[in-house]
Amino acid sequence: MPSLKSFLKSAYPLIHFFSQLPRPKPAYILLPLIFIALFTITIYYYLLKDLPSPSSLSSAPLPLTTHIRDRNGIELYQVYSSQNRTLIKLADLPPHVKQAIIAIEDKDFYSHRGFSVRGILRALFNTLKSPSRLKCTLSTEHCSLFTEGGSTITQQLVKTALLSPERTLSRKLRELILAIAVEQAFSKDQILEMYLNRVGFGGAAYGIEAAAQTYFGKSATALNIAEAALLAGLPASPTTYSPFGAHPELALSRQREVLRHMVAAGFLTWDQAESSSSVQLTLNPPQNNIKAPHFVMYIKELLAQKFGSEIVEQGGLDVTTSLDLPLQETVQRIVAEEIAKVDYLQITNGAAVVTHPQTGDILSLVGSRDFFDVEHDGQFNITRALRQPGSAIKPINYALAFSRNFTAGSYIDDSPVTFRIPGQEPYSPVNYDRRFHGRVTLRTALASSYNVPAVKLLAAGGVEHMIGLGQQMGISSWTDLSRYGLSLTLGGGEVTMLDMAQVYGTFAASGTKADLRLILEIRDSTGRILEKTPTPSPRPVLDPRIAFLISDILSDNAARTPTFGPNSLLFIPGSQVAVKTGTTNNLRDNWTIGYTPDRVVVVWVGNNDNSPMSYIASGVTGAAPIWRSITDHLLSNHPSVGFTPPPDLTKIAVCGNKPEYFLNGTQPNATCAPSPSSPHDQILTGASTVNPPAPTSSPAVLQRKFPKKTKLR
């Protein structure tokens, strides 16, 4: 920055000149010196004091837009504070984009030294020719002397990047000084590139790339001559010339003016200009350009936690996510259409998640029926909310039982039972249909979602052990063991849809768990990779044989027929798909979760305010139609290969019954008579009054008073 000392030094030759003149009276010697000193001080304090450095044009960071994309590079959302800007290199732009800007803004750009004498004189002449434009107020230093023309691209860059936009004579002089300095510090191409990346094109669009995306939905590298001419005309007055403004015809008038200037500058022929002016422009109308809004807002939150809000809004990150936008749009449409069909059931909302169980990738996340539905709190993301899962949680309990030598062919009495705990009210679970079904296999009990057998199994296995297995498989909300009792297997412990996607993904991936993945790669504004999330290495958390048994049971239409009938929405002919429903008895939550080896679909319906749905909203009325439509769409592109039994499984028929899978060593004896070997036979055989066995750990688990509201199918 120039200093007072340097300016006094530069004035020395002038002082020396005056000293060589004939010596007049002392007063005449002092007057020139005083004048020079006052002039120098004035110049310093009014023009050069705090003058920014031209080098800051390249060193000072620009506020840049963060781009969030799907897995295929399709843009989902742009995050910025006030200026939407994406940097682009001058060399990547078509010649006509640069030529259009130069022609209308500064045709002598490549020949002048930062300012144009001709332009300044023309602006002064036009202003003086219309005296009404000359409005100077000395007290405020406001002077609109240079209201049009005159400014070169270099001066406009200086004004935009280094100075305030005020219209004062001192600011104009500072602009002129800095423009000369900038021309000395940078090449013409560098100056033009900085200008094209900084200048405003209307609204939040700053820079030619953001302008091209805003007005035409394409990159600046793909602009044709007609589109480039329209954009080149905007910086002079974005509001006046905006094609989305009050007078869109002015945008076309300005476009033709730019084309005429391009002809005058020798960039186009008249025929090319005429042809371009007749091109029908396809504008990208103003809209809320957010796709997959619940997913995007989740990504934005994760980025802010990792990098801070300022970097997310101004750092120009480029984020590739796990989302598959075409699938997302299909799922969103299905959720909205199906919820509209069940409005009469007092169901106002629905949500869905689709994942790849082998990698943990979230391919679709629909957090509500309509993100923009303010009346029903549509921006609330149900997929991350704690809700009761109903019977959709039962497979964890059955997986625990199979790890303790129970088999899918083991029999259990579905009969009345009361669990008594000292100091608490007796707990008597009931089934969804309010009936008891006698002696049934665990296969039938799980597939048909009977409640009483599930509670008996949990009493035998221990609540704390089910909690431990659930945590290993992905449940993150079961942290306070003392809160849960035997009703846990009927949905008494709240979970999130994302947690359930991990649990069922573990079954789908043969007992291995892959953490959910939302972000694949993050780059900075220069394209440098900041973070690349590797494909997760699934961790074994469940015996693959047990995972197969659960999948085989949940895909067994015959085993679920006693409850759901032979032709329910859960049965997909020709495809082996595992599926489980869940509904709370207060009808506040309704789930359907299904999977193949390479896709998991989790669906929930209900109301955000936790109000109950209609009494006829059962396990196959609310969520199931959504699940079925999504699954049918997935199967059309990814047919199910079925579930392959792992080694060490034996399939045999016992006592003439349907062949059943058994873990080696658990197959029954040759006799068909029941031979209970469990220490919990009293519970499993259905004694009318039972004192649950003491837990092996965490004594407080079974001491909690059981809730009166039992969770159902």
pLDDT tens digits, one per residue of 19-41: 565 555 555 566 666 666 655 55
Q: What is the CATH number of the domain that holds 650?
A: 3.40.710.10
Residue 35: what pLDDT?
A: 61
Which of 219-223, 453-457, 669-673 has the lowest average pLDDT? 669-673
Q: What is the DSSP letter of 695?
A: P
In this structure, is residue 351 part of a structural domain?
no
Q: How far is CA 589 from the centre of its chain?
A: 25
Residue keyed to tokens 């359907």: 592
Which of 90-104, 155-169, 407-421, 697-711 has the lowest average pLDDT? 697-711
Tokens of 224: 């044709």
Q: What is the CATH number of the domain that holds 222?
A: 1.10.3810.10
- Would you say residue 364 has pLDDT above 60? yes
Residue 169: what pLDDT?
A: 61
Q: Which of 245, 277, 309 is the last residue of a domain?
A: 277
- Would you say residue 258 has pLDDT above 80? yes
Residues 420, 475, single domain; the answer is yes
In this structure, is residue 125 part of a structural domain?
no
pLDDT grade for 284, boundaries at 50, 70 and 90: confident
Amino acid at 583: T
Please tell me the chain's helix, strand, coil percentages from 3-state DSSP, rounded to the nearest 5. 40, 15, 45
Which of 111-125, 538-552, 566-580 has the lowest average pLDDT? 111-125
Task: Calculate ∠ Cα 242-246-249, nearest 5°.
Answer: 65
Q: Which residues contact 121 (CB under 8 A, 6 or more apart)?
A: none
Residues 469, 424, single domain; the answer is yes
CB 633 within 8 A of CB 330: yes
User: For residue 318, what is the enclosing H or E element?
Assistant: strand 318-321
In this structure, is residue 339 part of a structural domain?
no
Mean pLDDT, residues 266-273: 95
Q: What is the DSSP letter of 382?
A: G
Q: For the chain, what is the domain count?
A: 3
Residue 237: what pLDDT?
A: 86
Question: pLDDT per residue over 183-199, tens digit each?
Answer: 888 899 999 998 999 89
Amino acid at 467: I
Amino acid at 111: S
Residue keyed to tokens 């608490």: 424
In this structure, is residue 134 part of a structural domain?
no
Question: pLDDT per residue over 370-404, tens digit each?
Answer: 998 877 888 899 999 999 999 999 999 999 999 99
pLDDT grade for 171, boundaries at 50, 70 and 90: low
This prediction's pTM: 0.77
Residues 368, 472, single domain; the answer is yes
Tokens of 15: 């002082």
599 SS3 class? strand
In this structure, is residue 300 part of a structural domain?
no
Residues 249, 366, single domain; the answer is no
- Would you say residue 408 has pLDDT above 90? yes
Round to whole Å and give the CA distance between 98 and 91: 10
Output the CA torsion sign for 16, 18, 21, 26: negative
Which of 42-56, 553-567, 697-711 has the highest mean predicted lDDT (pLDDT)?
553-567
Residue 705: what pLDDT?
A: 33
Q: Could you give phi then psi for residue 637, rounded to 5 degrees?
A: -105, -25
The alpha carbons of the chain give a radius of gyration, in whole angstroms, of 37
Q: Could you give phi then psi for residue 413, rounded to 5 degrees?
A: -85, 120
Closest CA to 95 of 1, 220, 282, 194: 220
Residues 417, 507, single domain; the answer is yes
- Would you say residue 571 has pLDDT above 90? yes
In the chain, pLDDT over 70 holds for what percent of residues?
Answer: 77
In this structure, is residue 245 part of a structural domain?
yes
Q: Which of 277, 307, 339 is the last residue of a domain?
A: 277
CB 242 within 8 A of CB 251: yes
Residues 694, 574, single domain; the answer is yes
Could you tell me how many residues make up the chain?
713
Residues 98, 33, single domain; the answer is no
CB burial of residue 235 (10 Å; 0-12, 13-18, 19+): buried
Residues 480, 389, single domain; the answer is yes
Residues 17, 100, single domain; the answer is no
Mean pLDDT, residues 416-423: 84
Q: Which of 240, 258, 277 is the last residue of a domain?
A: 277
Closest CA to 438 of 673, 655, 686: 686
Closest CA to 603 of 351, 329, 349, 371: 351
- Would you say residue 215 has pLDDT above 60? yes
Residue 40: what pLDDT?
A: 56
The beta-strand segments (E) located in 528-609 are: 529-532, 539-540, 578-584, 589-596, 599-606
CB 286 within 8 A of CB 244: yes
Closest CA to 340 of 369, 320, 363, 364: 369
- Would you say residue 133 has pLDDT above 60? no
Tokens of 375: 């009346």
Q: What is the DSSP letter of 281?
A: P
In this structure, is residue 257 part of a structural domain?
yes
Round to whole Å and give the CA distance between 335 and 329: 10
In this structure, is residue 40 part of a structural domain?
yes
Residues 92, 20, single domain; the answer is no
Residues 380, 472, single domain; the answer is yes
Strands 418-419 and 689-690, sheet pairing: parallel
Strand partners, 354: 364, 601
Residues 22, 104, single domain; the answer is no
- Would you say residue 709 has pLDDT above 80? no
Mean pLDDT, residues 285-306: 88
Residue 140: what pLDDT?
A: 36
Tokens of 428: 């008597």
Boundaries of domain holding 21? 4-48
Output the CA torsion sign for 321, 323, 329, 334: negative
Tell me what the pLDDT averaged over the chain comes to.
83
Residue keyed to tokens 């035409």: 216
